[in-house]
Chains A and B, each alone.
Chain A
Amino acid sequence: MGNVFDALYDVLFQPKIAMQMIAEQKKISQAVIVFFLSLVIPLWALYFGMQDVGMSAMVPFVIGFKIVSSMLMWFMGAAVWHLIAEFLGGRGTGLGLFTTLGFAQFPQVFIVPLWVIAALLPASLKSIMMAVAALTIFGWSFFLTITAIKEVYEFSTAKAMLVMITPILAILVVCAIAFTFIGSAVTQMPMWL
């Protein structure tokens, strides 16, 4: 896997080998380029999609939010998942995970050609095709993220999934506790109505 083209090909067609190599080589600059391409190209589709549905006023807000949240997710996701993986006995590096997660976003560029194909379809099929495309891309990126965690820390699929969903579970637990406390506080208040 000498250059970025080889890496991208392997990410698409041999993800297991690709993630092993990327984690080993830790080519951060390539990961940054791939991540930004994977972020900017779908934004193009998002921009025209929002224009078409008359949400042009929301465009700067949504695009700004998408850019900031994606970057935060990349950095914070790598940090949190690395910590959890280490707790679970993983031996990979944080930098390795960070690099592989950058490459794992690459399938998102396919949203543009899929959107164009959807736009050419009859109106009744257009929204279904868009939904199917979005779900496929999401599933593909999810699969690559799991593969990245698996290969970086040499985990089983189940353990990799546990690493991935642990932060979500933690947020849910915190929310449940918060709601429980708020709920008990509210029920103790005098009735005003």
Chain B
Amino acid sequence: MYKKSVIIVIGIVIVLSLIGLAFHGLGAKNKGKVSQSDKIGIIYVDGVIIGGRGQSSVLMEQGGTDQIIKQIHQARDDGSVKAVVLRVNSPGGSAAASQEVGEELKKLRAQGKVVVTSMGDVAASGGYWLAACTDKIYANPTTMTGSIGVYMPYANWEELYKKVGIYQEKIKSGPHKDILSPERQMTDAEREIIQVMVDDIYNQFVDVVAQGRKMDKEQVKKLADGRIYTGNQAKQLGLVDELGNMYDAIDGASQLAGIEGKPTIKEFGKTSAWNMVFGPSEKISTLLEQFLFQKAGNQLNLGVPLEAAPEKWQVK
């Protein structure tokens, strides 16, 4: 009987501890008046902005703007998410992919959600396109931003091919079907066609910035000569609203959304345990980017990259 009593007492202590543990955990969460219902979603835009599904592994896909758009939709459909902080750490990328995400951000705002950008190391070109589609932009004073402009790279390897002994012939359906081919000199007519395209995309970019930043189009064009700015310079020029880090952006988003107390953070696209084990790794991402943007070179011409492309493309 004595032994039974001791074990029962131990059992009671353990049960009380389990209950205490549960309450202690909840107590910790309640510190600082955390709002349980109103959340701020964080969506990360890291690396080169490129359309499609990104990297694929055996069990899942990761990266690419399709994933970012999915996360924007999740934030839109989650009633508890009152605001979204777009954490941008990107040198730019494809114009179409940037435009696609930018349009989704506008739709998210139209649904009544506040969207605030927090710029990391760099948020240039396509990265700035996305930022311009949000309610407010935060940048660090040393963030690299701006680079509002478009270019289409073209390499002429004609002389090299001659030296190597490669002579390519093409049977074309039209005179411009092989425009931007690296094995021959571009014609004046083709140059004009490409210039018109670049100007068209540039004007669309300027429109997005003018509309998003509520600036005069001519004023934007003065700033949009392709140069990069520091966060500090961008603030003075009106391209950025506030100087601050991601936590300042979270506080700003919280204020704009009218969230009282400390908001609950919900990270979209957060790496799960499953993803850590079976998902694509960072190393693969780097290799993929290297292949797409350095090795494949001009084969990506028709993707119309913004000025985020590496210098290696600009063979003269």
A interface residues, Cβ below 8 angstroms from B: 3, 5-6, 8-10, 12, 41, 44-45, 48, 51-52, 57-62, 109-110, 112-113, 115-116, 119
CA distance in complex: A109, B16 (Å): 12
Tell whether, in the assembled complex, residue A58 and residue B273 are in contact, meaning their CB atoms are under 8 Å apart.
Answer: yes
A5 touches B18 (CB 8 A): no
Chain A residues contacting B271 (CB-CB under 8 Å) are 57
Q: Which of A8, A10, A57, A116 contacts B20 (CB 8 A)?
A: A116
Complex CA–CA separation, A57 to B271 (angstroms):
8
Q: Which residues of B contact A45 (CB under 8 A)?
A: 21
- Give the distance to chain A from B272, nearest Cβ to Cβ, in Å: 5
Q: CB within 8 A of B21: which of A5, A62, A115?
A: A115
Contacts of B6 in A (CB 8 A): 9
Does B22 sit within 8 A of A, measured CB to CB? yes
Is B274 part of the binding interface, using a Cβ–Cβ cutoff of 8 Å?
A: yes
Whether B273 and A52, one on each chain, are in contact in the complex, defined by CB atoms closer than 8 angstroms, is no
Min CB distance A147 to B, Å, is 18
Across the interface, B7 reaches (CB within 8 A) one of A5, A52, A62, A116, namely A5
- Say whether B3 contacts A10, CB under 8 Å: yes
| Min CB–CB distance B290 → chain A (angstroms) | 19
8 Å CB interface, B99-139 against A: none
Please encode chain B, from 1 to 37, with 1 for each CB lying within 8 Å of some chain A CB and 0 for all others. Answer: 0011011101001100110111011001000000000
In the complex, B277 has a CB within 8 A of chain A:
yes
CB contacts under 8 Å to A, within B259-276, are 270-274, 276
Q: Cβ of A10: which chain B residues have Cβ within 8 Å of it?
A: 3
Q: Are B273 and A5 in contact (CB under 8 A)?
A: no
Nearest CB of chain A from residue B32's CB, rounded to whole Å: 14
CA distance A41 to B22 in the complex (A): 12
Residues of B within 8 A of A (CB): 3-4, 6-8, 10, 13-14, 17-18, 20-22, 24-25, 28, 270-274, 276-277
- Tell me if A109 and B25 are in contact (CB < 8 A): no
A61-B25 contact in complex given A6-B3, A6-B4, C-beta closer than 8 Å: no
Shortest A121–chain B CB gap in Å is: 12
Please give the distance in Å from B271's CB to the nearest CB on chain A.
7
Given A9-B3, A41-B14, also A60-B273 (CB < 8 A): yes
B7 engages A9 (CB within 8 Å): yes
Is A113 in contact with B4, judged by CB distance below 8 angstroms?
no
CB distance from A180 to the nearest CB of B (A): 29
Q: Indicate if the CB atoms of A5 and B3 lie closer than 8 Å.
A: yes
Given A6-B3, A9-B7, A61-B277, A48–B14 Cβ distance below 8 Å?
A: no
Are A5 and B8 closer than 8 Å at their CB atoms? yes
**In the docked arrangement, what's the CA distance between A41 and B24, Å?**
16
Q: Let me know if B17 and A116 touch, CB within 8 A.
A: yes
**Cα of A12 to Cα of B3 in the assembled complex, Å:** 11
B28 close to A44 (CB less than 8 A): no
Chain A residues within an 8 Å CB radius of B22: 48
In the complex, besides A5-B3, A60-B273, A61-B276, 13 extra interface pairs with C-beta distance below 8 angstroms are A5-B4, A6-B3, A6-B4, A41-B18, A52-B25, A57-B270, A57-B272, A57-B273, A58-B276, A59-B273, A115-B21, A116-B20, A116-B24
